Structures are given as structure tokens and as C-alpha cells.
Structure 1
């Protein structure tokens, strides 16, 4: 006999474990999985051993045979119409420990709720009722509730998964445990954002400008690991509207000094909702010109025949409510009503309630401020997380207690290894061994420097001395082995054009370039007016790369010194076909499993538009290595695709209009042409930006598209594939026990906190100088090539040292970074495009029209333009 339920909770339904992707018609249906995610082959052994701590807290489960019961919850009104609002209507599932008395229950619930409070706004003709509303009023609503049994979720499935078996219900059981933590946070009044929660505590707030505040909270989630079940606890940050007067938010958001400087048209989209009223916008007229009919009873005010009196919102609040308004008379009012029934409130009476999420993209200044103010050194991060695990008393939760679950209060101890940095090769056949993940070009030359003979400087900034800049660049280039002739011309923007649109400014500049240069230049150096997010950047890159095929480097220098110019030259040399450095084993063709077999390395990423912008297409970019046996040179293929779709749609596209057979064909042909007519017999894929729920789609659908592209070239022998997902967006942190600094570069962990069955590991390749380092989390989904754990970890570590823009190891493999750069840069091409259905350059993807990117000019298509 099953025991009675010992606890229950209600929360929104969990998302499906593997959501189906949205794909165009020619992508076909996702076939049943043909490949399973591979199991771990073993553990690495190279490198010096190091003692570490991880922000995982060991979890013990006493009642292994306990069972969670899931019930579906249906809530409807008396007329049987379903409740779909985000409040009551969000409760779709019920979980209990042990069963309910019956598999199906039906009952009625009457909720008495307040519908008006003191200070309610006048509502379209009936503000005379305000005297009644000043007292709290209530109304009753009746709901029909149906609860029906859905599934049994055994807790034992977690212990089976920990033993390495593919137990069913494991994810469901872990999800229930996560929901228990969410429910506990909700009961404390926290803002919930996925698996993170945030308190209304000003000590956790960080002002980042523009009326936006960073709110620090915590991420918590249960994870099966090689060392047992653990609770991953980490500091997390979300963005909220700065609580306080609405007028203060609008002033800060528009960087206005006083209300008369506010652009009220912009203010329309900045109004948000709070707990009392949902703000839907601003009135068109100011408070003292906004009339509405007021029904007046027993009033001394004379009016015609008892008809409603036309009165302004300003008069209503000052005369009838006796509320003093100091500055609202000439400002718009907040509309807190409904589209057909407006309800107006003077601005100065409105305050933004705390913990309201701000979901728009941050500006570059806001993001920089957030990063600067949110940094925590490793000891502080350890203290904050361990304090949280103690303060939240998870063990006292009745549902966790009923499941026999208890959580350790100290960080998990982990054995790590520090891999040796790869030796680099510079110019003049010079070898160099990076120290602490870093190197420099002081008194050194680039490995293969280019020669720049035909070039010019264009200046969109009035603050830069381009003559001084060009002289210093030539001198710095000489020291690095790059011969740079004097620029053919220095072109300053006509000050009259600075108020024109970005596209017009770029067009005018190119008219000047064509007029002043005898022929197409080899290279253009472009000085932008702003350091970050300049509106000139997108139109400039589009014009130079797609129309003219000219390599360009954009800069906005604040201080010109040798380090700054060296960083600029690293990019210029790479874009124009030079090589700054190589791995020593790469130059001498001694990379294990790659040196003898033609091997292509791919980096794949998809860049999405800002949150809430479903009209902006996503940008898919794949970079492929070229000139085998090198692994430092890449070429990019970039396409637009359906908005917010993560799976890459254009890997194989034989049915497309025109000459575009897809990304893979473009990269395979390029590999063949640059590798002495050799075809890749091995392909190593690094996929960025996917969650664990999408691994099967990468392994089956995307990989199938790559294979079909290869076969479409009439090839019979399909290459061997190794597929690795690279994740940066996770919550595992590594610390040196008892040390104030970050873990050393090259730190790898492949035991205890990794998956109990699947093949994954953590690698911190970079030297974290500020804040707390975040390791990259690599998941090996498939390895047909047959790397040993040491060979694969060392290859991935080495690929963090081939990033041509940098003189330090980077946090994730270079091909992934290049794909991200290519997607971002070409995404700027369409920043000023019209995305209406009538705009030109559209291609049909499924049923949606997606604007196509302009093709790169043949002169730059093969280059590392994205560097």
C-alpha cells in the first residue's frame, strides 16, 4: 500500500527535454536518433596534478525507493473557459511525494481578491467612484479545478544514472528536485529566472545606468556527476528596472538632466508593469490637457443638468483628491488601463516596483559597467556561495526531507591537472614557450608578415590625428617585420556629412576614396567616432567587403602606443593573409592523428538578435580550417536563417535558388583547393551555443547534413567525424584550495564533477587576471577518429593558443571564437535593413521570409576578414 502524499507543490509545466527545432521545409523531419551520445573512454593523465575546489555540494539520498507523482492541473472559469493568464493559469502541474487519494479529483475554488486600492486612477468616465475605491474592495471569482494523474517519477532513477546506466525518468526526477528549490525561492518572494532566484535586497543591486540595475542572486540546480548527485550553486545576475519614481527611470534611461529634455516618444516603449497596475504606455496629451467625463454627486460644482463634468486629470487629482502635484501638469500621464479603456495616472505618483526584469539588450557602456561592478575574486565567490548554501537551509524543506535528501555545506574537493602550454613559432624561426598563458611580440617578428603597398586612411572622427597615427603604425609594423609604405592619402570626413545617416556617410566616404585613389587599395584603415557599437561600422563593413572586396581595419584609439598598434597589426596581418604565429608542432606537422591524415576543423555558432526581436534573422556562421596540415588558418561561411533557430539550416542546401549549395560545400571546396588537392578524411567539429537538450539534434540532424553535403560532391568515402560541443554558459567554477588567485591556465578536470556516463571535461585554458575564471565545458558527442583522452584534451588546449588576434590563450577554442566573430560582423551588414515583407533580398525558409546576407566579394571571401 502506497503511503499518503507527504508534500506537494504547484509550478508551471517543465519544458520538453528535447524541443523540436523549427526548420524550413527542405530540412525534412528529424529522423529517430541514429547515433547515441558516446560514453567516456577513460581519463586523462598528462600534466601536473593540482588540488581544486568546485562549487558543487554533495547530495545524499536516503530514501532511494521514494516516488514522485506528477499530476496534470486544469483550471477553468465557471463557464468552462480555460484560465490562461500568467498568474493562476500558469499552474499546470502538481508534484507530490507519494500518491494523492484518487487518480482524478474535481473541485471548486472561490478566490476573493482585491481589485482596487487607495489611489486608483480615474477610469474613462467613472472617477466619481474613487471615494468607494479608497477603501479596499474585493470581488470573488469561482474556478473549477481538475487534477488527474500523469506519471510516476521514481527517485531511484537518479541513483541508476549515477551508476552510469541510461535510466529513464532521470531528467524528470532531477527537474522535480529543481522545482522544489524554485518553489522554496518563490515562497521567499524571490524573482525567478529559470534556475536562478533573486532577492529584493538593495545590497544585491548594482546601478549600470540608463535606469537599469544589475541584481545579484544565485543559480542552483541538481546535477548527476561522477562523484554522486551534487547541487551546483553559483552567483548569478539578472537585469531589473531600477526601482523608484517612474520619472527618475525615464530621465536615467534617456540620459536627460530634467523632464523638459525628455523625448516622450521614446518613453512610450520604456513603460513596464508593476504589482499594482500594468503600464501600457503614455498619454498623447499632457496631464493638464487630458479631459475625461467625471460623474459628480452632491457637489457644489455647477454643471449643466447633472451631465458628467469634463475635467482634466490634473484637476481631478489636485482638486478632487487633494493631492499636490509639483511637476506633472505639462507632462504626459501613464496609461495603466486597457487599450479601449484608458486609465491615467500622473507620473510623479507612480513608482516602479522592485524586481521587474529588464529584458532588452544592454548598451556597451551598461555592459562594461556591469562587468566592472560584478567582479568577484575567487575567495569572495567561495564565501558568498558557501554562505548561501548555509543560509537557505535546503535540508529543512519538507519535500526534500520527505525524500531523504540532505546537502553538504562545503565545496567539493576535486583533483585537477595543469597541461603544459604548447610551444609557439615566431618569425626568424624563433621558438617561444608562453608563460602563464601569455606571450608578446616585444623584439619579435610575425611568422609570415605581409607587405602593404597600396592603402589609405579614412577618418570619421574629428578627434584623431591621422598623420601621426599612420607614422606610428608604419614604425610599429617595421619592428614586427611588416613593410608598410606611406598611405596614398588621408581622407577626412566632410563635417557637413556628420549629421547624415550612417549609410549616407559611408557612401560619401567611398565616393571620396574612388575620387582620390588611382585604383582599388590593398587595405583601408578606418577611424570610427566611437569605440563600441558605432553606427558607421555595419554599413562600412558591408560596403568594403561585399561591394568593393577591400580588407579594412576599424579603430577608435584613445591612446596610441606600441601595445595598441601591435594589437591592430595582429588583425591586419591576419586579414591580409599573413600569419602571426603557429604552434611549433603545427609548423613541423607533428600533431597526433592529424599530421598523417588530411583533417578539417570546423567551428560553428549561431548569433541571435536582441531579446524580443523576432523580426531579426539569426546569423549562422561556420569556419573551416584550410591549408592542411595547418590548424591556425580559417575561412568563414555565413548565412541568415529563421529568427531564434539554433540548428544551422544552410549546412546542405541543394534545392536553394542560385548557386548556393550550402555552407559545407563552400568550406569543403576551399579545403581541397588549399590543401594540395587533398580531401578531408577526418573532420573535427566544435559546436558552440547549444544546450544539453539539443545534443541529439547536433549529433543526428546537423551531422547528417554535413554528410549529405559531402555525398552531394559525388564522394563515396565519408570522413570520420569527431563532434565536440563547447559551452561557456554554465555555472561550474574551479578554485585553488587556499589560494587567492584563479586556477592556472591549462587546468583540466575530467573526474568527480563531470557526467557519470557521458564524455565531458572542464578546461580553463586562459589566465584569469580579474574576477573568477569560468572554465570551458567540453562535451564529446562522437569520436570516430579515435583520440585518446590526453590527445584530445591537448589538442583542444592547443587550439586556445592559435587565435591570431591575441597574445594570450583564450577561454575557448579559436574556431568557435572565429565563428562567433564572423556571425557578429556579418550580422552588422543587415542592421539597417528593412525587414518588412516587401523588402528586397528575401529568401523563403519554410513559410517565413528571411533576408539574405550579401555575398562577400571574391577578393575577400577566402580571407580571415573576421579577425
Structure 2
């Protein structure tokens, strides 16, 4: 139920509300520990604290509709939950789970009846207080070897931590309880409880089911639906579940999930498929390049394999998996070790003595740690081993195709997966007094569909204003708001001339010029220089030579304004090199085209190309019309998008990349970017103060030089959209990043009120329309662009909302989750909803609204393109592989030294578009 002391406020003309600042440090009651703003009608609510801003009220704009959410109501337990800390030996998580199961089933069943819920790490939750005595238990696992030696004994210690009264979850959902550690622990406990039944089923050795299971932190995957996609990878369908607090109740969010798995079977077959080879001899060390061996090591690291040859004398199927560390540099016939007799022997000769001669003794081995090396032919990959690595680019489409489902299909798949999650059969859920009601179907909540903003084009256009429909519009009869002129340009073709010849180039030039005239752009040079080049040569010199040729052809009037590079398909290295030597080093705008797309392209294609080219040259494609609810133009506003990009999974890189992108114009459509290098896997933006100072200074400079504002003018509002931050890091953002933003304002003498909003995309909430007539497209069946929900599934006390701002092209649309952490501008719910929705329409590269505000989208792109700031021939431009701690610091310094900042000519342009 909603907080009773927060009546719905009326929106003011400025989209803000008067009063003291809210949120975070210095924000009174809105920050954690701030007190102050309570729920007046609830006696115990005066002390309520929050991480972010307290919800100021609910939105009322737009047309109300009903939608389904992929979540189900959860009945909160009535009895206390007893929390125990588990101190165990330092062993793998899988072994810990087996030890606790053995503890409950065989060692002390009288203590652990009914069974407890264990998270696999440090926490046990029990529905009753345990009589644990001293808390020390000796546990051993059955020895799989036919050996007279006694099994190893592990000592497990349990300590009572706290007793949790689940009533606090009810109070929290009703807005009368702070989100403290006890609340978070109670939520964690319920999540552990709901996971136990499927975990037990999967681990039950007596099960006759042929179904295999795999798990990660929140999902369970089953092999009922599997698709092999090549590269040694297969996909499994799974089910995500997470209990979450919501307004007035607890819910469990259930969604389909996809896991990338190593393809089961002989390890040799897996590696050959990964390499795209079928000849076993290529796995001999003298046939492998070091880059290939490193690539194989990265692919295999962490993979658990079994060695069936060692099952002699064991109970079949009890083989304990071994985890691969890396690939060896030597073959089995050359890799030496010291045997039990103290003699140096090769791996191949060792197995020959065991009467197990190797069929392929010259192939490399896999290192499984502690000096162990196993020949490839003796290794087997069991089913259900999750690959925690980045999927190769060429396979990502296959993953997307497998994971994509339309809303109704997605809901049907979720309902079909409920038996796997075993909510009604779980003894754990029952003994904890929980109920998960799935019989009534998914939750039905109230949503609103916001009106899209009107978008303005050039006054010379036949159509000067457009209102998007279903999140889309087109360029018919419209000219760019501020079209730019191309005086001189060159074309460099890296596709073979027999595939992209003079005729294709002539058609390309004609098509680009015809489209340019329709959108208001003028291309002065009608016959640009075109050169075919070999991409294996020096691309930087090739682009420089093309620029010099353009300079000479035009009587030394100047070099090119634009370089168009026609590239082969799926060659990322070409792209990085062109962007590095063009945008970064030479300061010339570049536009890369795929030869297969530019070949006989239609007018729509060239229109899309010009959307990017125009803003790269400093133009503006459109501006949003000012509205009284969410004005951008009337109050000088700097809108910043910020993101951090970390190394991909499985790669221990030294560096992460941070970016901030902010507007310089009064319409919030022209943006500039700043990117930096920092320590790997650090989420907080370390150089944020200097980066924001750069944006503020650039904003003031543009306002004075271009918009002719007074020299002292600067932003009066800073709206900071932060991407990629988990809920557990919200307080860190407030404690560390917000002070840097304030310091940047102070040092630039900028008196701006700050609003800080987290934009979340990595969640599993989905909207399914109830009425098919209210969808964006009957074929896709998604909710309409502009669907916003701030009731029913939001945070019980904090200012958050879900906004579906785009029309999906494939599958089920993912709404973005916005959490307002700090707000000196006193935005109402309606005004912040409208502002965020409007910013999703100014993304320059498309005539569609996008899923997140344009500056956040741009920041994500800038981070993703960090590699273009490194010379393509340098080591720093490539993945450096696994680094130990002693190498990380020097590697980071090398990265920073090799990082080349953007050329000054491009620094004030949208080179990232």
C-alpha cells in the first residue's frame, strides 16, 4: 500500500517542487540515516531512512492501462527465521554443499530436522532454533575410491547470528520499516529457501530422471531445451527467480533465462570445434601459435572435466570433477614431472607404464592445478557446465535468437517452468510458512502510457513537427534541424574490387547525394576520390594518403571533412583501425559501412547513414518541443550520462573504462564525451570530478560561442543518469561519486542543483499487455512505448519507476528501471517520467525511441569503443590474457600510457554516433 503521508503533488510549470533538497548526503530525510521525512500517520515511521530519495508521490500523466508482470505474490512467513554463520574448510562451493548435505542426512539428522536452507557459502537459515551444542561437527564424504584409507574429515562450525522476525518484511513493504541489514538478510533467507527444492532434486543420486540441471546465483537451467550454436558452445533454457519487496507486498520475479554451456563429450572434440578445425594434429604444441594456445587457455579456464579412466575401482559415476587452469605449452610426450620414485618421467610414459598408452602423445595437456596435468584424450566434459566467458561476436545472434520470445510466449514458457521450481512441492517453503501463489496467474498492475514528445525538424521542411507513433517515425518530407555541409570527402574501400567495384561506388555516391539533398545536407564535391586498399597494410598511412590526395585534388583548399570506409563483414579490427587513425589521430570524421549493406542500398539505408554523419560533422537532426511538464530549454540544464565498462567474463584485464557524455546545447541533443582508463573491475568512476568539470566547461563555452549566452552562464540544473550500478552499490555512488560532482561544480563556480538517477537494465521485470489492442504492434504483442509503472512493483519507500520507452523489434521489450538517489531539483513523479521519456527520443542514430535516455546510451557506446583509443598494432589494443596481482599495476600504467585521447577537432563533436 502507498505511503500515507505522501499525497500526490501537483506539477509546477518548471517540473519541480519547492522545498529543501532531498536525497543522499545533506539531503535531509531522504538519505540513509537522515531521518526527518517520515510517515506522519504511522507512529513508528518517523525514523524511516532510505538510500535514495523518498517517493514524492505517484504519477498521473498518460492513459491508464492494465498490464501483467512476470511475478507472483509471496506470503511472508509468520514464524521467526534463525540465522547461522557457517565456518567451513576452504574448499569449492560444490564440496561445501555436499558437506552440509552429509551433515544433515548422516552426521546429525536429529539436529537438522526439518532440514535447513544453505546458500552454499556462509549462511544457514532454519525454521526453528537448532540444538547445535558446541557448534562443531566432524563431517566426511564417502570415499569414492576403493581404498583402505579412511576418508578425509572436515570440521564445520555453526554460530547463531540472529533471530529474524519476518514481520519486519511486512512493515518494510508497507513503508513503515527502514531497509536495514535485518531486512536484507530476511530477503536473502527467503531467496535461499525457494532455491532449495530444485537444488535437492538435481543433486539426488537416486533420481531416475534423465534431466540434467545447472545453476548459477539466481537461476536453474535444464536440458529439456538445448541448442548447439558452434564454437564448442550450446545453449540451455533456464528459469530465473528472485524474491523482492514491492509496494505493500513481497513478490517473486520469475523469468526465463539462457545459459551458455560447454558442449559435453570428449575434450578434444570441444577444442577442435572451438578452433573450427577437424584435424587432431593441430593440437600439437608445435602446430599452435601462442595466440591460439592463449585463446584455448582462456576458453577452458574454470571448466570442470572428468577423467573416466580413473574410475577403475570406483563406484561408477562418482568421479569428482577437476577444474582446468590452463593449457600446457608442452605435449604429453615432452611434459616432465617427478614420479613417486623421484624419477623424471613424461606424462605419456607415465600412462604407458599404467598400461594406458596414449593415442595422441604429442598433444598438449590441461593443467588442473597442484602440478597435475592430464592428456586431452583422457578428459571428458560432463553436461551442464556453464561457460562464464563472453560469447564470440559471430555467435551472439544465435544466442539472441534462442533467448528471444514474444511476451505471450515468454509468459507461457515461465508457466511451463514452474514445476521445475517446485513451489508447491517444496518441503522448505512449507516448513518456513511461506506460500507462493501461482494459481491465480501473474500479477496484474496499473500502468500508464505517456504521450510521446513532439519532435521538431528544420522550418524549411514540408513536415516541421512529428509525434512518434509506437516509438517510431520516419524522415519522409523532413530536413535535419541543423544540416551540415560536406565540402570535401574521400572513400576508402577495403573490400576486394571484384566484390565492390567502380559501379558499386558510383551507385553509393549517387545514393548518398540524393538522400543528402532530401534531408537538407549539401555535398559540394560530386566526385570524391575513391581508393581500394589492402587492410593488411598500414591503415593509418592509407587514410593519410587519401586525405593528402583530397587536399591536392581540391587545390589545397583543405583536407576531407569526412572519410567513408567500406569494410568487409565481421571484421572488427578494420573498424577499430579506421576509427583510431581517422577520429582519434587525424581528427577527421569517419563513417564505416559494411560492403554487403552498401551494395545496392536503398534510400532508407542512406538516410540512416546520414543520421550519423550529420551529427559527426556538428549538426543536429532534431530537437524536442518544450513542454510545461518537463522543460529542458527554459532552464539551463546539463544532462550527463555515465557508464563503466569492465573486461569481459573470464578475462582478468588490468583496466576498466569510464565515460561521461553531456549536452552542450540548450535542447539537449548535441553531446560531447570524455573517456578515461582506470583500475579493472572498479565500479566507482575515479576521475569523475575532472570529467564533469570538462563537461561543465564545454557547456559554458558552447553556450557563449554558439548560442551567444553571457560568458558567465552555466547550467542551473545537472541531471546525472548513472548506468550499470547494482542496488548494492547505490550508497557507494552517493558517498563517492556525488561529492565529486559537487566538487566539479564548486571548482567551476557553477551554481547548479543536482539530480542523480540510476538507470538499471539488468533486471528481469517484464510487462505483458492484458488488452492486445493496446500493444505497440499486433505481431509483436509488447506494451506500447511510453508505458510507465510506479505502483504495484516499485520500491516500498524510495522514488523509482519502470519505463518502457521503446517499441521492440524482437521478443519482449525490457523496461528500464530508474531509481532517483538524490534530487535538489525537487522533481515530481510526472516531470521526471516525462523528462526521461523525452530523452529517449533524441538518440541521433535512429528515427525510433530507444530503451534508455540518449546520453546514457552514448556513454555505453563510448565505453564499448575504448579500443579505438589504442594503436591497433600495440599490445595494449589486444586482450592481455590472465594477469597475476604483481602484473596488474604495471599493466594498468601501460594501458594509461598507450591510451590516446580524442583529437581536438573531434572533441566537440559526436564522433561516437
Normalized against structure 1, the TM-score is what? Answer: 0.82
Separation in structure 2 between the aligned mates of residue 681 and residue 799 of structure 1, nearest angstrom? 18
Separation in structure 2 between the aligned mates of residue 542 and residue 474 of structure 1, nearest angstrom? 26
Summarize the Cα distance change of 1:636–1:847 in structure 2 as closer, same or farther, 3 Å threshold. closer
What corresponds to 2:487 in structure 1? 453
1:632 aligns with 2:669: yes
1:562 aligns with 2:598: no
Return 786-795 or 823-832, whichever deviates more. 823-832
Contact 1:214 1:238 in 2 (8 A): yes
Contact 1:160 1:167 in 2 (8 A): no
Q: CA deviation at 1:779?
A: 1.2
Separation in structure 1 between the aligned mates of residue 746 and residue 350 of structure 2, nearest angstrom? 77
Structure 2 matches for 1:703-782, cutoff 5 A? 703-715=738-750, 718-737=751-770, 739=772, 741-782=781-822
Q: Secondary structure at the match of 1:140?
A: coil
Q: Which among 494, 500, 503 is matched to residue 464 of structure 1?
A: 500
What corresponds to 1:142 in structure 2? 153
Separation in structure 1 between the aligned mates of residue 465 and residue 891 of structure 2, nearest angstrom? 53
What corresponds to 1:214 in structure 2? 235
Structure 2 matches for 1:267-666, cutoff 5 A? 267=293, 268-269=296-297, 270-271=299-300, 272-275=303-306, 276-282=321-327, 313=348, 320-321=355-356, 328-329=359-360, 332-335=363-366, 338=369, 340-342=371-373, 344-347=374-377, 349-409=378-438, 410-427=441-458, 428-429=460-461, 430-462=464-496, 463-465=499-501, 466-486=505-525, 489-495=528-534, 498-500=535-537, 504-514=538-548, 517-518=551-552, 520-532=558-570, 534-559=572-597, 560-585=601-626, 592-628=630-666, 630-653=667-690, 663-666=694-697
Separation in structure 2 between the aligned mates of residue 637 and residue 346 of structure 1, nearest angstrom? 47
Q: CA deviation at 1:793?
A: 1.1
Identify unmatched segments of 5+ residues in structure 1. Answer: 1-30, 77-81, 116-134, 296-305, 654-659
Separation in structure 2 between the aligned mates of residue 648 and residue 607 of structure 1, nearest angstrom? 10
Contact 1:726 1:812 in 2 (8 A): yes
Contact 1:603 1:816 in 2 (8 A): yes
Structure 2 matches for 1:154-303, cutoff 5 A? 154-165=165-176, 166-168=178-180, 169-189=182-202, 190-199=213-222, 201=223, 203-260=224-281, 264-265=288-289, 266-267=292-293, 268-269=296-297, 270-271=299-300, 272-275=303-306, 276-282=321-327
Contact 2:757 2:820 in 1 (8 A): yes
Contact 2:589 2:911 in 1 (8 A): yes
Summarize the Cα distance change of 1:581–1:235 in structure 2 as closer, same or farther, 3 Å threshold. same
What corresponds to 1:856 in structure 2? 902
Q: CA RMSD in A?
A: 3.4
Separation in structure 2 between the aligned mates of residue 164 and residue 83 of structure 1, nearest angstrom? 41
Summarize the Cα distance change of 1:319–1:750 in structure 2 as closer, same or farther, 3 Å threshold. closer
Show CA shifts across 1:494-532 (max 9, x none): 44xx434xxx33334324433553355343333243444
Q: Which among 143, 151, 157 is matched to residue 162 of structure 2?
A: 151
Q: CA deviation at 1:241?
A: 0.8
1:866 aligns with 2:912: yes
Separation in structure 2 between the aligned mates of residue 278 and residue 792 of structure 1, nearest angstrom? 50
Separation in structure 1 between the aligned mates of residue 80 and residue 871 of structure 2, nearest angstrom? 52
Separation in structure 2 between the aligned mates of residue 309 and residue 638 of structure 1, nearest angstrom? 53
Summarize the Cα distance change of 1:346–1:183 in structure 2 as closer, same or farther, 3 Å threshold. same
Aligned length: 773
Show CA shifts across 1:16-71 (max 9, x none): xxxxxxxxxxxxxxx9977941111111112122221000101112x43x222222
Separation in structure 1 between the aligned mates of residue 244 and residue 186 of structure 2, nearest angstrom? 11
Separation in structure 2 between the aligned mates of residue 59 and residue 92 of structure 1, nearest angstrom? 25
Return 143-152 or 414-423, whichever deviates more. 143-152
1:691 aligns with 2:731: no
Show CA shifts across 1:143-173 (max 9, x none): 2222222222221221110110215311110
Contact 1:72 1:147 in 2 (8 A): yes
Contact 1:491 1:513 in 2 (8 A): no
Q: Which among 55, 59, 66 is matched to residue 44 of structure 1?
A: 59
Separation in structure 2 between the aligned mates of residue 843 and residue 287 of structure 1, nearest angstrom? 32
Q: Secondary structure at the match of 1:439?
A: coil
Identify unmatched segments of 5+ residues in structure 2. Answer: 1-30, 35-49, 100-119, 203-212, 307-320, 773-777
Separation in structure 2 between the aligned mates of residue 48 and residue 230 of structure 1, nearest angstrom? 26
Q: Secondary structure at the match of 2:793?
A: coil
Return 143-152 or 753-762, whichever deviates more. 143-152
Q: Secondary structure at the match of 2:469?
A: coil
Q: CA deviation at 1:390?
A: 4.3
Separation in structure 2 between the aligned mates of residue 374 and residue 554 of structure 1, nearest angstrom? 29
Q: Secondary structure at the match of 1:150?
A: strand
Separation in structure 2 between the aligned mates of residue 647 and residue 206 of structure 1, nearest angstrom? 38
Separation in structure 2 between the aligned mates of residue 823 and residue 227 of structure 1, nearest angstrom? 39
Contact 2:389 2:649 in 1 (8 A): yes
Separation in structure 2 between the aligned mates of residue 216 and residue 461 of structure 1, nearest angstrom? 39
Separation in structure 1 between the aligned mates of residue 736 and residue 487 of structure 2, nearest angstrom? 47
Q: CA deviation at 1:293?
A: 9.8
Show CA shifts across 1:273-294 (max 9, x none): 2243334455556567779999
Separation in structure 2 between the aligned mates of residue 250 and residue 217 of structure 1, nearest angstrom? 25
Separation in structure 2 between the aligned mates of residue 464 and residue 471 of structure 1, nearest angstrom? 15
Contact 1:282 1:332 in 2 (8 A): no
Separation in structure 2 between the aligned mates of residue 309 and residue 449 of structure 1, nearest angstrom? 75
Summarize the Cα distance change of 1:111–1:391 in structure 2 as closer, same or farther, 3 Å threshold. closer
Separation in structure 2 between the aligned mates of residue 105 and residue 309 of structure 1, nearest angstrom? 47
Contact 2:529 2:550 in 1 (8 A): no
Separation in structure 2 between the aligned mates of residue 596 and residue 417 of structure 1, nearest angstrom? 26
Contact 1:114 1:139 in 2 (8 A): no
Separation in structure 2 between the aligned mates of residue 164 and residue 208 of structure 1, nearest angstrom? 47
Contact 2:363 2:375 in 1 (8 A): no
What corresponds to 2:37 in structure 1? none
